[in-house]
Amino acid sequence: MNYKYNEEFCKAFGNQVRKLRLAKGISMRKFALAIDMEYSQLSKIELGTTNPTISTANAIAEGLELPVHQLFDFKPNFKKKEK
């Protein structure tokens, strides 16, 4: 099976991460340092330009002191493909 990068889903995930991080009042730089992640990688996640692993999602959730399922509590804006 060929799994592909889903831009809409990754953007929605990144927006959720950013929203939760900002709600905690943590800057991106401080958060990246706290979870031992490169600032540029965290930026790509929040912009939705990369497809993070489940381990990365877990590290983000732990850093935010939230259950991992909260990172996925969003509705992506999927565009319907026209035939």
Q: What is the mean pLDDT of the chain?
A: 92
| pLDDT single digits (tens) 47-82 | 999 999 999 999 999 999 999 999 999 987 766 555
Closest CA to 18 of 69, 64, 65: 64
Q: Could you give the CA distance from residue 51 to residue 54 in angstroms, rounded to a whole number?
A: 10
Cα–Cα distance measured from residue 4 to residue 47, given in angstroms and rounded to the nearest whole number: 18
How far is residue 83's CA from residue 74's CA, in Å, rounded to a whole number? 27
- SS3 at position 52: coil
Instruction: Give the angle 24-29-32 at the CA atoms, nearest 5°.
Output: 80
Q: Give pTM, 2 decimals.
A: 0.87
Domains of the chain, CATH where assigned: 7-66 (1.10.260.40)
Q: What is the arithmetic mean of pLDDT over 25-52?
A: 97
